[in-house]
Every structure is written in structure tokens, then in C-alpha cells.
Structure 1
Amino acid sequence: MTTSVSTTTSTAASTGYSTLQASDSGTGIDYATLIEAKVAQRLTRADRIDATITENEATISAYSDLQDLLLAMNDAIDGLRNRSASTGASENLFSQRTAYVSDDDVLSVTADDDAEEGTYLIEVQQIATKHKISSDATSSRTEGMGLEGSFTIGLDGGESVTVEVESDDTLEEIRDAINAQKSTSGVSASIVQVDDGSYQLILTGTETGQEISLTDGEGGVLAGLGLVDDDGAIANELVAAQDAIIVVDGVTITRDTNSIDDAIDGLTIDLYAASEGDTLSVEIGTDLSAIKSALTDFVDAYNAYRDFALQQQATGSDGTAADDATLFSDSLLRQVNQAVYDALNTSITTSDGDLLSLADLGLTFDSSNKLTLDEDTLNSILIDDIDGVRELLGLNMESSSSQLSLLRYGDDVTATSFTLDITVEDGSVTSASVNGDDSLFTVSGKRLVGKEGTAYEGLVLVWSGSSGSVDVSFSQGLADKLYSAVEAVADEYDGDIQAMVDKLETENTQLTTRSDTIKDNAESYRTRLTAYYARLEAAAETANLLLQQLTYSEDDD
């Protein structure tokens, strides 16, 4: 009997949790439920932490969406800030030029940024052409020509090549031999089928205005093909090589190409057809369509952001935050909304004395504070007052002296005013100070460069006068002010949103560690309880067996 008791105790203690679930003997206590209750009590803290992690993750996701929407808005207005690419802007749409041509079937004009605005009168008297000649007709392109020898071919002023021909070479093989060296010779060959059983070899110069040069060698291959006559001159000229001739504001210009980029600074003129006697008008001005497109894109980007903001303010039927209003009553979102609203309500007085605001661009707010665009109003102000649009939207500098000009400015330059005291000796600037401090600018010839770490960092001014004082002021237009406000919040590296996201992600990392520790400890606690209750159950079973043995003994007696 002792052996039997010992075996039962060992089994109960070793099988642990599964035995506690399955046993009907011993105390009759449901140890499994008891253990689960005690472990669950300890896991309550972990559940609360996990809930916080989930809330943080939802907030991080919402902040990331907000950041993306704000950055998209800034992408749309970046080119409207009147800042150069060298100062961090992706482009300056107010410096982009486009050409308006009275007849684009004759020519087109491409304008570089900052090309001089104005009107030019252009007459296309002649376009440049490629030299083209042909051979005599032959009855087959695939039968041997019976010509043997060599010839040289090239363009006048260029490099010539030698082409070898065998007696069994076909017209196609002669064509291929010429084309094998066309990158050097500048002459390409093709075959034209004139009619059934009649083919001609066509030679074309790859450069306009350059004549093809042919020299027949021993064997008279070129003469046999009919490309040259008995005197070695070209026999069949299809198109003569000629230069382009245009007249710009009365000045005659000749070039060997139809793409002329050195006649007027910043302009490339592409010629399509001659129109001798007809004078075309070419007007160079600001690319208004690019500015309009950017404003339209901004409206779409702003309204997408506004939809998000409205979603975060939504309430349910009980007046509490809606399920998807993750940032309901969020202070950072309120800060963003206010900053955007303040920037969009900027108004400026232009240099002409006009008061301009968003409405003058045809942009107004609806009942949800989303933007609507009146294209007629926008088109009108772009055509009539592009300078006013630039002042309304971009960063502008005013100076009390016309001898001070702005060369570049950085992102750190916003709305500021200061007086520059400039000293000039022997025609060069020797010092520039603000309020007596001459450590703010570095002087280089006539250039005044704002030093790194100062309020003037990135600012480059040019002074062409003598010693004196100049009052300088910078004003931020609507787009520049909005961009600065949004950048401070949405910058992917050091913006307020990113700082909050980083903080929440750090917090989640710490919370996850705490939750995992609690869960690990709870599992260890489960193991200890299971082993403890297993020993109790085993002891109870042993006692029960002893009681049964005593009962049996008494019955036997």
C-alpha cells in the first residue's frame, strides 16, 4: 500500500496543470479556474498598458496622416514663395518664363528661368536643311551590283571614311557598309523603292547646313551607282544643304541649325518652316499657367487637409468624439489649424498701394472653411497684376536705396527690418554693420553675406554705392508665411509633429517592455501556482487513499 501511495503523489505533482483540470479526486476544488483568476488579476496592469499602446499607435498614425497632408500642401505652394532654388525652394514659379508666339507652326521658343521679359519680332527667311542626294535607279536591291573598288564619304569640314565594295555586293550591302560608319562620316544611307523593280540609294547628311563630300576611288563605284557624274560632281541632288536665316528685330542671324540658342540670352528658338516676309511676334513673360496650376494644386491639398481636420472634430450621437476622431481636442491639431488660418488670412499692401488678400486670387472659404476657386477672378489678376500676386504670395525685399540689390536669401530670412551701415573704400565694401555690430555679415568685394548662426544667414546682398546707411525690410507674403508655419510643425526631422511621434514611439517601446515583463512574471506566477496546487491535490489524494484504507481495514475487522 505504501508503494501505491507514493506513485500517486509523484504523478499528481509532476503532471501539474493538466492534472488539476482533469482530476475528480482529492479536494474537489477547481484549481484551474482559481489559477486563471489569480493570473488574470496580475495581467490587468498589462492589459491597461496594452490599451495605452494601442491608443498611442492610433495617435501616431493620425499624426503621420496629418504630417503627410501638411507636407503635400507645402509641396504645392513651394514654388509660389518667390524664393530661388539655391535657397532651398524646389522652384520659383515667378522667375519661370514662357514664350507666347503668334504662329507656332513656323517656330517655337523656350525660355530659361529669369530670361529677360519683353517682345521680339522674328522673321524666318530660311530653315536649315540636311543635304540629300540619290543614286540612279537599279532593278534589284538584293542582287550583286558588279561594282568593285572603294570610295570616301563624309561631310564638308568633318571626318571622311573609306567604304570598300566587292563585286557581288548588293545595294543593301552597300547601304549597310555606309551606315556602319555613319557616326564618323555624318552620312546615312537608305533605299527607296521608286516603283516595281526600281530602287534608289539615298544619302542624307546627319547635320543641317553641311554638304556631303564624295570622292570616287579606283573602280568607279560612285559613278557606277550614279551618285557622281563623269567629273566627280554630285549627279542627283534632292535637297541642298543650307543654313537657317532669321531676322530678329531687324538683325539678320545665320546658323547651321534649326535650334538656335545663342541669338537671344535665355531663349532657344526652334524653326519649323520658312515664312519669308512674315514677321512673327514673340512675347516672353512669366509662366502664368504654372502659377495657376500650383494654386489649383494648393486648393486640392488644403481641402484634403481640411477634410482630415473636420473628421477629427466629429462627434457621435451622444456628443462624444466619433470613433475615427483620433485627434479630438488635440492641442497640436488646434495649433496647426490656427497657424494655417492665420497665414491664409494674410493681406498685404503692394508697392502700388493696393490691398490684396486671398479673395483677390479668386479663393474664398465655404461654410466648412474649405477653399473654393473662381477661375475667372484668378485668370484676371494673373494677367493684369502678376507683380501684385508675387507680392501677395512671396517673400519681398524693400530697400531705401536702389544701389542695394538682393542676390540670394535663405529659408531663415522671414519678416524682418534693419538698417545697414556700409563703409566703402577704393570702390570695395570694407564693412557692413547693423546697430554697430559688424560681425553679422562677411564682406566679399561688393557682396554682403549673412553669417551662419545669425538672423541674416543665407542672405546675400550686393551694394554698388558709396559709404552710407540703407534701410532694408523683408515682408512675408501669404504663401511664404504659410509654408514657414507648416514647416515648423510638419518637418520630417525636427517639426512639432515628428517630435510628438518620436515621443509616443519611445513611450510605446518602454510600455511594451513593461507589459512584456508583467506577462512574463504572470506566466511564472502561473507555473508556481500550478505546481503548488498540484502538490496540494497530491497530498489530498494521498490522504483520501489512507482514509479509504482505514475504512477498508475497519470493514474487514
Structure 2
Amino acid sequence: MTTVTSTTSTTTTAASTGYSALTSSDSGTGIDYSLLIEAKVNARLTKADRIDAKITANEAKITAYTDLQDLLQTVNESLDGLRNRSTSTGASSNLFSQRAAYIGDDDVFSATVDDDTEVGTYSVVVQQIATKHKIAADSASSKTDAMGYSGSFTLQAADGSAVTISMESDDSLTDLRDAINSQKSTSGVTASIVQVSDSGYQLILTANNTGEEITLTDGGDGVLSSLGLTDDDGAIKNELVAVQDAIVEIDGVTITRSSNTIDDAIEGVTLNLYSASPDTAVSMEISTDLSSIKTAITDFVDAYNAYRDFVVTQQSTTSDGEASEDATLFADSLLRQITQSVSSALNTTIATDDGTVLSLASLGITFDSTNNLELDEDTLNSVLSSDLDAVKQLLGLNMTSSSSQLSLLRYETAQTPQSFTLDIVRGEDGTLTSASVDGDSSLFTVSGNRIIGAEGTAYEGIVLVYTGSSGSVDVDFSQGLADTLYSAIDAAAADYDSDLTTAIDDLEAQDTTLQSRSDDIRTKAETYRTTLTAYYARLEAAAETAALLLKQLTYSEDDDS
């Protein structure tokens, strides 16, 4: 009985200890089952490790692609305003249409200018600036004590509406100020209190806007006279600033306005008057905002060089010719494709009508020994000031036509340079009936005065406006360097439907699939570990039982002898 009990106890212990009893030190057989289990499990995990390594490589590539995308988008941000496109033709701004006012003495006035305003030079004399009418009451000894006046009065500025102010005998100067200000948006008059001495306070009434006179009318109780706002005849008693309009002479023409902000004298120009200088004619030149164009070109050079530094890093090798540690995109076909596309666009040249060939060098931009860009500011300043049309033609989208009555409304980024002749027919009722090229009227549709490139044709995306009569119009589109480069980069790096976005999306989808496979392999490997552990634990328990039985048999034989 004792022997049987011992055998049962030992078998139970071996089976329950599982994995911990399978090391060589604990195993009854001396076999290190744990090493066997680890070897078998790790053989299965090797495939998961290879998958994880692929995921890690993909993540590094995604990061590199994202960095490249960001760098290229920064280049395009600098190019956008240089493409000579309006918002309707695909740009957020057009720096060639932006205007600036250059003023000889900006202490007298400043100016803001709308886009596309006609350029020109003006002589401006600020003879008088508009003022806000300001009047005062007589001095009071306290601003918080009751004044003892009862009654009412009305007040208003010329551009406001009359309001009634009622007073009680226990009202203070502060109460009166607050009552007036509670209706200032209606009356156009604001009240304030100024301490004029240690024991003297004055109520000040100021028109909210320049050029607007304040009028006061007593309600019959003599409150205005008691306050010292009017005299015995009802006239303003203490006028601090007389009301007056602004008077400005522009190219010899005198204009008068109630405001110091004048936006209707020169079309597209808003003058902001600061001080009068009646004996001084100030020169104001309205021209293209050259500083913004120069800034954009400088930003482009910096952005392009940052992109180039990234490309060089991705192409770097170690001393033994292997890809360097930072060259995640070494020999990457997509990077090579983008680099070639950008380089090709960057070398765009434009031939002018007189045969001059324009290129980056025309702007003072050249390549250094590492193919980064260098900018000669003197050359850039010179061409901006002397030949802005050449800069526009080199960089931007340009449409020329043989009719001044044909204008461009829309032109998509994907369009390429092209020339064609439009044969336009307008009916007897004045309606535009057709527009054709080489006799094919299916290439364009008409809607009102609009001529629209038909979908699926080379003219898709072009929208023209024509106000002339029937006839033929020659049309020429040239796509400059900035516009060409922008298009190439947009195709490669835009947030949607670009080469890099597609590549990143594909890698992320691949990683999702790979991660699922890796997780599945590891889960199955752990299940396999559990199965092996149980199996070897049973073998160990059986071996221990057999060993105990052998000992019992040996003991019995010895006992019989």
C-alpha cells in the first residue's frame, strides 16, 4: 500500500509541474525537454520574425516617403504664386497680379492695393484730414456726487439717430456718462470723463466717426446749459475739436470725404490718411509687388535645396560601396522617377518672340557642384525691376490670343502647352453657337459666352470667355518653368492621387496584412508550445512512473532474497 501511494503521488506531481519540471535539472530522465520545446517553437517563429523585419523595413520606407512628400510639397508652396494662375485656374494666389503702393512719404498716408489694379504713378497732396467732433461740459468738482440736475436732452452725430438722455437730481457725472454710452451705437456719440485737475472733472463727448457733427437739443429743463455743454443761446459752449472732412488732391483733382480712409478715389486703391501736409505733393507708385515675387523665388531655392539634400542622403554609400545607414530609399525606383521628373521640369526653357531663351539662369539661379541651387540676388533684382514680363513668361502659365475679346477663365493643372485656332460662330440673335478647331466642333461646347473644352479631348479643362463676333482667333498656351515644375511635383507628391500617396497607402495596406500574418503565426506558435509542454510532461511522468516501478521490483527481489 505504501508503494502504491508513493507511485500515485509522484505521477500527479510530474504531470502538474509541466514546463518547469522539463529542464534537465528537474527531469527524471535527465533530458532537457525545454530546449527541445524552444527549438521547435523558434523554428515556427522564424517566419514571423522575417515578416516583422519586412514590416520594420516598410515602416522606414513609409517614413522616408512621407518626408520626401513633405519636402516636395514645401517646394510647391513656394511655386504656387509664381505660376501666373488665378484661383479659377488652380492657384491659391497670383503674385504677378498682386500690387503694392510705393509712397514717397508714408508718414502722411499709406495705401493698400487690390490685385490686378492698373499700375501707375500719382501725385497726392493731403490738404486736410478728417476729424472727430469733440465737445466738453464745464468742469465738475466730483464725478461721483449727485449733480442736482433733473430733465432730459437729445444728442446725435450726423450719421447717428437722436437719442433721449434723462437725468434725475441724484445722478452723478459717472451716471450721465454711462447713460450716454448705453446708446452710443445708436447716437454715434461716445462719452468719457477726463480729470482736468485735483478736483476738476469734465464730461467729453466725441463723435464715433470722423466728419460727423454732434448736435444737442435741450428738453426744456435747461440741463445742457447747467452742464455747460451749451451756452444760453443753445450753441456748443466748449468745442475741443471742430469737425472737418478730409481734403485730398490727387493729380490736381480735389476730393472731399468724411473719413480718413478713402477707397473710392482711385479704383482698387485705399488711402489711409495720417496727417495733413498741404504744401507737399507726395508721389505714389502703384506697381507689381516685386518683394513678394522675390521672397517666393528665394523660398523656392531654399525649399528645393532641402529636397536635394534629402535625395543626396538617400543616395549615399559607405566606403565599401554599400548603402549608408540613412539611405532608406537607396536605389528606390520611385525616388529615381521623381528625381528625373523634377530635374527635367527644372531645366525648362522658354523662347521669347525676339528669340531670347529664358531659363533659371535668367533669374540669377545656377547649379553648384552638388547640384544645389545658388541665387545671385543682384541678377534677380535687376531682372525683376527691368523685365518683369520675361520673369512671368519664364515661370508662369501664359495665354496669348489674336483677339482681345477672348479671355481665360479656367485652365487645369494637367494641361500642357498647346496652340490652336478657334473658329467661332455667333448667330444672328447674338448667341454663341459653336467653336471648332480644324472644322471639328465636338472639341468645344458653348454656354452663353463661355467656350468649354470637351471632356476626353486635349482641351478638357480649358474654359474661355468670348465677347466678340464670329471669326477665327489664334490661341497659344505656354507653360513656364514654375508651372511645369509644380505640375510634376503635384503628380508625385499631392495628398491625394499622387505617386507617393499611392506608394504609402500600398505599404500601409501591406503592413496591415503582414502584421495579421505575424500575429497568427505567433499565436499558433504559443499554442504549439502549450501542446508540446503537455506532451513532454506526460512523457516525463510516464518515465518517472516506470522508474519507480523498476525500483519497487528491484526492492521486492532484494527483499525476497
Report TM bin, short chain. Answer: over 0.9
For residues 468 and 217 of structure 1, what CA distance do their matches in structure 2 show?
75
For residues 402 and 86 of structure 1, what CA distance do their matches in structure 2 show?
20
Q: Deviations over 1:423-447 (max 9, x none)?
A: 1223432101224332332313332
User: Where does residue 474 of structure 2 map in the other structure?
Assistant: 471
For residues 530 and 157 of structure 1, what CA distance do their matches in structure 2 show?
95
Partner of 2:125, secondary structure, is strand
Partner of 1:207, secondary structure, is coil
Deviation at 1:215, TM superposition (A): 0.6
User: Where does residue 133 of structure 1 map in the other structure?
Assistant: 135
Deviation at 1:109, TM superposition (A): 1.3
Q: What is the TM-score of this pair, normalised by structure 2?
A: 0.95
Tell me: CA distance 1:492–1:379, structure 2 relative to 1, closer, same or farther (3 Å).
same
Please give the root-mean-square deviation of Cα atoms over the aligned residues, in Å.
1.8
User: Where does residue 35 of structure 1 map in the other structure?
Assistant: 37
Partner of 2:235, secondary structure, is coil
Query: Does residue 1:442 correspond to 2:441, yes or no?
Result: no
Q: Deviations over 1:30-63 (max 9, x none)?
A: 0001110111111111111111111111101100
Query: Does residue 1:481 correspond to 2:484, yes or no?
Result: yes
Question: Residue 53 of structure 2: which of 51, 65, 79 is its match?
Answer: 51
Pairs within 5 Å for 1:262-411: 262-411=264-413
User: Where does residue 498 of structure 2 map in the other structure?
Assistant: 495
Partner of 1:340, secondary structure, is helix
Q: Deviations over 1:173-222 (max 9, x none)?
A: 22222112111111111222223323222111011111101011233111
Question: Residue 457 of structure 1: which of 448, 456, 460 is its match?
Answer: 460
Contact 1:393 1:478 (C-alpha < 8 Å) held by counterparts: yes
Deviation at 1:29, TM superposition (A): 0.6
For residues 344 and 214 of structure 2, what CA distance do their matches in structure 1 show?
69
For residues 383 and 425 of structure 1, what CA distance do their matches in structure 2 show?
46
Q: Deviations over 1:367-406 (max 9, x none)?
A: 1111122211111111111111111110111224444332
Aligned length in residues = 557
Partner of 1:397, secondary structure, is strand
Letter in 2 for 1:166: E
Deviation at 1:453, TM superposition (A): 4.7
Contact 1:136 1:225 (C-alpha < 8 Å) held by counterparts: yes
- The farther-off stretch of 27-36 and 523-532 is 523-532
For residues 217 and 265 of structure 2, what CA distance do their matches in structure 1 show?
36
Pairs within 5 Å for 1:105-124: 105-124=107-126
For residues 98 and 67 of structure 1, what CA distance do their matches in structure 2 show?
34
User: Where does residue 18 of structure 1 map in the other structure?
Assistant: 20
Partner of 2:209, secondary structure, is strand
Letter in 1 for 2:465: V
Question: Residue 232 of structure 2: which of 223, 230, 233 is its match?
Answer: 230
- The farther-off stretch of 455-464 and 506-515 is 455-464
For residues 430 and 138 of structure 1, what CA distance do their matches in structure 2 show?
81
Contact 2:89 2:409 (C-alpha < 8 Å) held by counterparts: no
User: Where does residue 532 of structure 1 map in the other structure?
Assistant: 535
Letter in 2 for 1:168: D
- The farther-off stretch of 148-157 and 307-316 is 148-157
Contact 1:412 1:457 (C-alpha < 8 Å) held by counterparts: no
Contact 1:412 1:455 (C-alpha < 8 Å) held by counterparts: no
Identity of aligned residues (%): 68
- The farther-off stretch of 490-499 and 272-281 is 272-281
- The farther-off stretch of 247-256 and 61-70 is 247-256
For residues 213 and 333 of structure 2, what CA distance do their matches in structure 1 show?
76
Contact 1:151 1:217 (C-alpha < 8 Å) held by counterparts: yes
Contact 1:362 1:378 (C-alpha < 8 Å) held by counterparts: yes
Tell me: CA distance 1:404–1:353, structure 2 relative to 1, closer, same or farther (3 Å).
farther
Partner of 2:196, secondary structure, is strand
For residues 25 and 229 of structure 1, what CA distance do their matches in structure 2 show?
119
Contact 1:362 1:373 (C-alpha < 8 Å) held by counterparts: yes
- The farther-off stretch of 320-329 and 233-242 is 233-242
Contact 2:414 2:487 (C-alpha < 8 Å) held by counterparts: no
For residues 25 and 14 of structure 2, what CA distance do their matches in structure 1 show?
9
For residues 170 and 356 of structure 2, what CA distance do their matches in structure 1 show?
84
Tell me: CA distance 1:18–1:139, structure 2 relative to 1, closer, same or farther (3 Å).
same
Tell me: CA distance 1:259–1:457, structure 2 relative to 1, closer, same or farther (3 Å).
farther
- The farther-off stretch of 276-285 and 69-78 is 276-285
- The farther-off stretch of 338-347 and 207-216 is 338-347
Contact 1:412 1:456 (C-alpha < 8 Å) held by counterparts: no
For residues 25 and 424 of structure 1, what CA distance do their matches in structure 2 show?
102
For residues 218 and 142 of structure 2, what CA distance do their matches in structure 1 show?
22
Query: Does residue 1:553 correspond to 2:556, yes or no?
Result: yes
- The farther-off stretch of 129-138 and 187-196 is 187-196
For residues 508 and 213 of structure 1, what CA distance do their matches in structure 2 show?
78
For residues 209 and 170 of structure 1, what CA distance do their matches in structure 2 show?
30
Deviation at 1:452, TM superposition (A): 4.5
Q: Deviations over 1:55-82 (max 9, x none)?
A: 1111011001101111111111111111
Partner of 2:324, secondary structure, is coil
User: Where does residue 198 of structure 1 map in the other structure?
Assistant: 200
Deviation at 1:535, TM superposition (A): 1.3
* Unmatched 5+ stretches in structure 1: none
User: Where does residue 249 of structure 1 map in the other structure?
Assistant: 251
Letter in 1 for 2:110: S
For residues 474 and 207 of structure 2, what CA distance do their matches in structure 1 show?
62
